[in-house]
Chain A
């Protein structure tokens, strides 16, 4: 089975924001789709695109993203589902050799990554991230250099989680390896290594030194949670608001000694939003791919006003700046934006933001050209 069991039909840009040299390019391929099923594949891709479009912060970065679909046919439909893992025993001759039961685990669905990279390198060498949708209703997926997931309900969450690893370098934020109560005693109790390079976990819970210290409010205890029994996963409920950013003990496969920024995150358990730290890294990565992009995080002290200006080199149009208060319950006042066309054809926009509240308000902002 392999490349003799199908063919590459071609590449189609399904989300088009311009030159791939400028944009962050997601490439989605399919495996186990027969020629007559390519319309279904197109719908499956669109379904993932729709999910991604509604997933913060991709929604606000959308103008920096291109998405491509590569149509690939296979001789057979589906994927191998070996009976040894409790599967149906089906075998399918597919272009990328999709199979469940890798490592004798049924849900571990993998494809031949060498073949995938060969196809993508030839079709779109500017690819930033690669996914493969496997035409099977059995739940499964895998990560690594190619995120792979099936058509089972909620399997798209696998794609979003693995994109966190592959495209943005996120660590897993769960505090076990094989499972809570499953890991051999003592193997995942206390982390004693050096500082992890990933942006979303840390061994440093210091208020002023933690990687994401600028996002921690003064009232937040640090560490925010501590595991009282490092021999097991921390069973305590979140003592803070879900949005509170701090240092929650238990991350990176260790019960103690490593901290995560928020109590929940998509990198800790599927179905959650990305935490604020992960979202910031995604913005930092995709932000430079937005036209005339400008973005960042800032604070305004109580009773103060800030005036911001943004400049575009040309003026085919612009999208209104999105400014979103990050502190629950606080509201900012926005003045009427001003715009002027400059003599060189560029445009300058001004926006005035006031903070009428009694506390400092943090917010993030973006601006882009359509």
Chain B
């Protein structure tokens, strides 16, 4: 018989940056940085994801070290998913003619965090896993007032 403790640390809320971005083509701007008290989405192990292709959001300290990283589907829509009701043409993708819109990223405020970086394929690149570049980087506000 083996005894195993299955109790894991409870998810605890903390200061999370709710970052709202606007984008048009490859131009990305940070339009708001709300500090919210909530449980942040889980990040990925930093050593595993540094070389991964795809879109990532990275929180960095003053020495440029990654403190938090999460890889996800790119919120910058260089293409769109089409949901056809025709069985002969199921889910598929089409390039977006004029990529622009708004998206939100949730990242935890980690001790020492000073900036957030968006990494991913440039817009207009359908081979989205081949090349990831720094798309934008912005300073993070220190958490003060929690909403």
Choose the segment among B78-86, B110-118, B135-143 that binds chain A (4+ C-beta atoms closer than 8 Å).
B78-86
Q: Which residue of B lies closest to A145 (CB)?
A: B103
Partner of A145, one of B37, B84, B101: B101
> What residue of chain B has the Cβ atom nearest to residue A305's Cβ?
B1
Contact indicator B129/A196 (Cβ below 8 Å): yes
Complex CA–CA separation, A256 to B70 (angstroms): 26
Chain A residues within an 8 Å CB radius of B133:
none
Interface segment out of the listed A46-54, A284-292, A337-345 = A284-292
B65 at the interface (CB under 8 A from A): no
A206 at the interface (CB under 8 A from B): no
CB interface residues, A 190-207, toward B, < 8 Å: 191-198
A96 CB to nearest B CB, Å: 12
User: How many interface residues does chain A have, given as a range?
Assistant: 35 or more
Which one of A102-110, A235-243, A325-333 contacts B? A102-110
Flag whether A86 is at the interface (Cβ < 8 A): no
B7 near A174 with CB under 8 A, answer no
Q: Are B53 and A197 in contact (CB under 8 A)?
A: yes
CB-defined contacts of A365 to chain B, threshold 8 Å: 6
**Inter-chain contact B147/A270, CB cutoff 8 Å:** no
User: B11-24: contact bitstring with A at CB < 8 Å (1 yes, 0 no)?
Assistant: 10100001010100
Contact B75 A144 (CB under 8 A): yes
Given contacts A21-B39, A103-B97, contact A139 B102 (CB under 8 A): no
Q: Is A252 interfacial (CB-CB < 8 Å)? A: yes
Contact A289 B39 (CB under 8 A): yes
Partner of B80, one of A103, A309, A367: A103
B residues near A298, Cβ cutoff 8 Å: 4
Is B10's CB under 8 angstroms from A292's CB? yes
B38: Cβ under 8 A from any A Cβ: yes
Q: Which residue of B lies closest to A109 (CB)?
A: B83
In whole angstroms, how far apart are the Cα atoms of A294 and B36 in the complex? 25
Residues of the A chain whose Cβ atoms lie less than 8 Å from the Cβ of B83? 107, 139-142, 149, 155, 158, 161, 270
- A128 touches which one: B82, B102, B106 (CB < 8 A)? B106
- Minimum CB distance partner of B2 in chain A: A306
* 1/0 contact string of A314-328 vs chain B (CB within 8 Å): 000000000000000
Q: Which of chain A's residues has its CB closest to B53's CB? A: A194
Q: Is the CB of B42 within 8 A of A284?
A: yes
Complex interface bits, B75-97 against A, C-beta within 8 A gives 1, otherwise 0 = 10100111111000111111111
A293 CB to nearest chain B CB (Å): 7
Which of A75-83, A162-170, A215-223 faces chain B? A162-170
Q: Which residue of A lies closest to B20 (CB)?
A: A117
Q: Nearest chain B CB to A363's CB is how many angstroms away?
A: 12
Tell whether, in the assembled complex, residue B52 and residue A108 are in contact, meaning their CB atoms are under 8 Å apart.
no
Q: Given that A171-B73, A269-B91 are known contacts, is A107 also in contact with B10, CB under 8 Å in the complex?
A: no
Chain B residue total in the interface (Cβ 8 A): 62
Determine if B91 and A270 form an interchain contact, defined as CB atoms under 8 angstroms apart.
yes
| A308 contacts B70, C-beta separation under 8 Å | no
With A169-B71, A193-B129, A197-B71 known to touch, is A304 a contact of B52 (CB < 8 Å)?
no
CB-CB < 8 A to B93: which residues of A?
Answer: 172, 177-178, 253
Q: A172-B91, A294-B6 are in contact. Are A126 and B80 (CB under 8 A)?
A: no
- How far, in Å, is A356 (CB) from chain B's closest CB? 14
Instruction: Give 1 or 0 for each of B41-77: 1 = CB within 8 Å of chain A CB.
Output: 1101000010111111000000000000011110101
CB neighbours (8 Å) of A195 from chain B are 51-53
A198 touches B1 (CB 8 A): no
Set A143, A169, A171, A179: member contacting B89, Cβ < 8 A: A179
Q: List 24 A-B contacts (CB under 8 A).
A: A20-B38, A22-B11, A102-B80, A103-B94, A107-B84, A126-B38, A139-B85, A145-B101, A149-B83, A169-B71, A177-B92, A177-B93, A177-B126, A194-B129, A196-B129, A197-B71, A197-B72, A198-B72, A252-B129, A294-B8, A304-B2, A308-B4, A308-B6, A309-B6
- Listed from nearest, the 8 A-B pairs whose CB atoms lie closest are A288-B11, A197-B71, A169-B72, A197-B52, A145-B103, A197-B54, A193-B130, A165-B73
Residues of B that sit less than 8 Å from A by CB: 1-8, 10-11, 13, 18, 20, 22, 32, 34, 36-39, 41-42, 44, 49, 51-56, 70-73, 75, 77, 80-85, 89-97, 101-104, 106, 126-127, 129-131, 147
With contacts A113-B101, A121-B34, A289-B39 known, what are 11 further pairs, Cβ within 8 A? A20-B38, A21-B38, A108-B80, A121-B18, A121-B20, A155-B83, A165-B73, A170-B73, A193-B131, A194-B51, A197-B53
A interface with B by C-beta (< 8 Å):
20-22, 24-25, 102-103, 105, 107-108, 110, 113-114, 116-117, 121, 125-128, 139-145, 149, 152, 155, 158, 161-162, 165-166, 168-172, 174, 176-179, 182, 187, 191-198, 252-253, 269-270, 284-285, 287-296, 298, 304-311, 313, 365, 367
